[in-house]
Structure 1
Amino acid sequence: MGLLDFVRRHLVDVRPLATPAYRRLWWGQGVSFMGFQLTSVAVSAQIYDITGSSFWVGMLGPANLVPLIVFGLWGGAIADAVDRRKLLIGGALVAWTGTLALLVQAWTGTEEVGLLLAAVAVHATGFAVTSPTRGAIIPRLLPVEQVPAANTLNFLVSSLGAVIGPLIAGVVLARGGFAIAYLADAVLFGASLYAALRLPRLAPTGEVTRPGLGSVVDGLRYIAGHPVVLMSFVVDIIAMAFALPRALFPEVVAERFGGSPVAFGWLTAAMGIGSVIGGLLSGWVGRVRRQGMALTFTIAVWGMSVVAAGLAGELWAMVALLAVGGGADMVAGVWRQTILQTHAPDEMRGRMQGVFTVVVAGGPRLGDLRAGATATWFGATGAWVGGGLACAAAVLVVGLAVPAFRDYRAAAVARDDAART
């Protein structure tokens, strides 16, 4: 095997970047996501600074989750019925409003947890609209065979933001304070807005259903009738709701590392580091045929990595083990997204991406709530380790119990393999 063939088969597939509209959407997402990560770290740190409680940090979970459920489902239905470019712009402006509210409260010295949670809820509302819209746009910009590669690139650039953003946040919080972090997010938002403005018109295709409760129900009925799609959501909820230790980071940093903002930044960036490495070495991901089985075991690896990280005593070991989990989560995310985008017809993709947003973005919020609540009973380490163990056990039991999901083979991969031979 020559070097070029090795690179093509094992390193990240960059073919989608040759399409200008997708390329702008990709880098705009990456730049703005760095700002989003700055805000995420700053909000958690500010709430813990005000309250000294992981419970209140965990309350960021429902503050994000309720808007994600309501507006994620509704936003996905709208994305199937209107010009997706216009909807993406509108949702982005709503999210920006939430960031500006955080900036104003920090600049004026207002330390009200309720105001922080309300601003986060506004931002989550905008995100709940833009995320399914962006996911539904991608198959319109690219040929179907490039969709898995585009999803990998999306996860890769988001992971880069998840690494760079928290590391910058650690420095900013140590030297500049909360307001500077929110200001940087507000400025970096401009990249995603520019990318949305440059998109072509994306009017709905196929049968258009009036957005509302009926169209949302139709989307949920579609999911219920397709076990592979349904299980892709179930295993992701298990992964995030049971194992994500994010809400415990401030308490663990305070207990083990003297409250160091730099240590907080490294812990927050750890999973992103693993996702970046996994994305760069992702050429093989699109060739996996038994994606249901692979998805199940990959999530089990994520859970056990979280367990090991919670038991580690040194910062470098915790970062390394969380990075392993982040790589596993990135690979699992590519398969989940590809299943949705290639199974559903275009007139259903917005609603599928709406549910995907609720699950993928809402699952971590459930995880925040679970972690914060259980930490009040079992302590930070008990909540951390116990969640990882529960995730690994539950996903193996559930994922292997559904034959359609366990034996699922990706048709597009099978056709690609046949063409090569």
Structure 2
Amino acid sequence: MSSARSHLIDLSPLRASPAFARMWIGSVLAGIGGQLTIVTVMLHVFELTGSTFAVSMIAVAGLVPMILAGLYGGMLADAFDRRKVALIAASVTFASTALLAALTWTGSETIWWLYALSIINSAANSVGMATRTAIIPRLIPREKLAAASALNGVAFGLTVMAGPAVAGILVALTGYGWTYTLDVVLMLSMFLGLWSLPALRPEGEIVRPGLASLVDGWRFLRRAGNIRMQYVIDIIAMTFGQPLVLFPAVGTVILGGGAVTTGILTAAVAAGTFASSLFSGRVVQYRWHGRGIERAVEAYGASILLFGIVLLIGAMSGSATEQGPEIGLIVAACVALAISGASDNVSSIYRNTMMQAAVPDAMRGRLQGVFIIVVAGGPRIGALYAGTLATLTTLWFPPLLGGLLVITLVALLARRSPRFRGYDAENPEP
């Protein structure tokens, strides 16, 4: 029995810090609402335009504002009370989502409004995520950081598993207005989690936001080879192995089922994330985090390759357009995507722990800002890669080629970086 329990997720961070527990619960509920809106906007744009490229441009349009917001937000988190910074970012997200719901209910929404409000959400979320992540090491001891990262994987799994599935069903049954409105209601929980936190000013030397702060962070990053390498590996994985933008077209053209299939495919990724966090007891005990990142991302590339093969089979059979949803292929695609979610989550546990343990508190906001840019920006570049390549070729080709590229490039980089492969969580070095 004790051996079985050792494989299960470690819940001790929730017991050790009530403040962390409240913030975690708020993040779960607000995250479900955020995923509702992300998937609904994708479906909304696809309905208005019928173009996968137009869907991919939602992510691309927000890339530069997200980068600027992440960089500046990280500087704010290193200069001011992090609780206040997180609350302001949450307020902007709440206001933009409320406006999106109001426009939809009045029939005033246009593709340009969808793009504009998605950009605002993306920028505000960059600031909020960087700040909230920088807060965590102040709430729990260092030896609990890996377990806290696994709990955040559960939160992400729940949000991305429940949000897209509910979005697909709500859009199919009631339309877009109710879905956006539900996000507005769920966002209120984020305020409850953040409002109850104590004041959290950065420790150590404080550098005011501006060029000097940015240069200071850049100098630190130049010396932090392990942090840089995890950034590069994640960018490769998300650029070539992120097929989310293809899901609306895949559900319509290859697998069948439309919006419901889109929600199911997205939820499959989250199911893998959730399952790998639920059974993360041994994962968080593994001390060689660089090696863990390498192996997890290579497994991620293999799962995306498998997803491409499933789509190729579906495209060749053409049965979805003739006979309705192809259940067998949908199940196979979900298995491949669940493996991708599990692999990415294991990598994320090690990457988050490395960031929080190896980076000093006075620098943590700026580095978390860059980290969020990598984590959120990579998929946006990946959306451009997948959307453009699918437009020029066919839907199955981007994940097929991308999976092969991820496996090859990560293996080559890791083997040329023995210091990264030898990173020891018990002696963290940036």
Deviation, structure 1 residue 25: 0.4
Pick from 107, 110, 123 the counterpart of residue 108 of structure 2.
110
Contact kept, 8 Å, 2:100 with 2:109, in 1: the verdict is no
Which shifted more, 396-405 or 224-233? 396-405
Match of 1:356 among 367, 371, 388: 371
Give the one of 323, 348, 356 matched to 1:341. Answer: 356
Q: Quick one: which of 14, 17, 20 aligns to 2:14?
A: 17
**One-letter amino acid of the structure 2 residue matched with residue 375 of structure 1:** A
The answer on whether the counterparts of 1:250 and 1:259 sit within 8 Å (CA) in structure 2 is no
Amino acid of the residue matched to residue 146 of structure 1? K
The 3-state SS of whatever aligns with 2:75 is helix
Contact 2:150–2:284 under 8 Å retained in 1: no
- Report what 1:305 is aligned to: 303
Give the aligned residue type for 1:180. W
8 Å CA contact retained: 1:303, 1:389: yes
Distance of 2:93 and 2:377 partners within structure 1: 16
Is the partner of 2:396 in helix, strand or coil?
helix
Which letter maps to 2:54?
Answer: W
For the pair 1:387 / 2:402, whether they are aligned, the reply is yes
SS, match of residue 380 in structure 1: coil
Kindly report the root-mean-square deviation, in angstroms, between the aligned alpha carbons of the 2 structures. Answer: 1.4
CA contact (8 A) 1:248 1:384 kept: no
What does residue range 77-226 of structure 1 map to in structure 2 within 5 Å? Answer: 77-226=75-224
| Structure 1 position 176, deviation (Å) | 1.0
The Cα of 1:385 is off from its aligned counterpart by: 1.3
Query: Secondary structure of 1:204's partner?
Result: coil
Equivalent residue for 1:400? 415
In structure 2, C-alpha distance between the alignment counterparts of 1:257 and 1:111, rounded to whole Å = 29
- The residue that corresponds to 1:27 in the other structure is 25
- Report the residue type matching 1:110 in the other structure: S
Structure 1 partner of 2:383:
368
Tell me if the contact between 2:308 and 2:398 (Cα under 8 Å) persists in the aligned partners: no
Deviation of residue 114 (structure 1)?
1.5
Is the counterpart of residue 37 in structure 1 residue 35 in structure 2?
yes
Shift of 1:10: 1.2
CA distance in 2, matches of 1:14, 1:348: 28
Q: TM-score, normalised by structure 1?
A: 0.95
Q: Which runs of 5+ in 1 are unaligned?
A: 414-421
Structure 2: stretches of 5+ with no match in the other structure: 315-328
Q: Structure 2: which amino acid aligns with 1:31?
A: L
* Of 189-198 and 292-301, the range deviating more from structure 2: 292-301
1:172-220 Cα offsets, whole Å, 9 max, x none, are 0111111111101011001111111111111222111111122122112
CA contact (8 A) 2:248 2:258 kept: no
TM-score by length of 2: 0.93
**Structure 1 range deviating more: 313-322 or 391-400:** 391-400
Aligned to 1:279: 277
Identical aligned residues as a percent: 40
Q: Counterpart of 1:327 in structure 2: which amino acid?
A: A
Match of 2:343 among 322, 328, 331: 328
Quote the residue 2:323 is aligned against: none
Which residue matches 1:417?
none
8 Å contact from structure 1 (residues 61, 367) kept in 2 = no
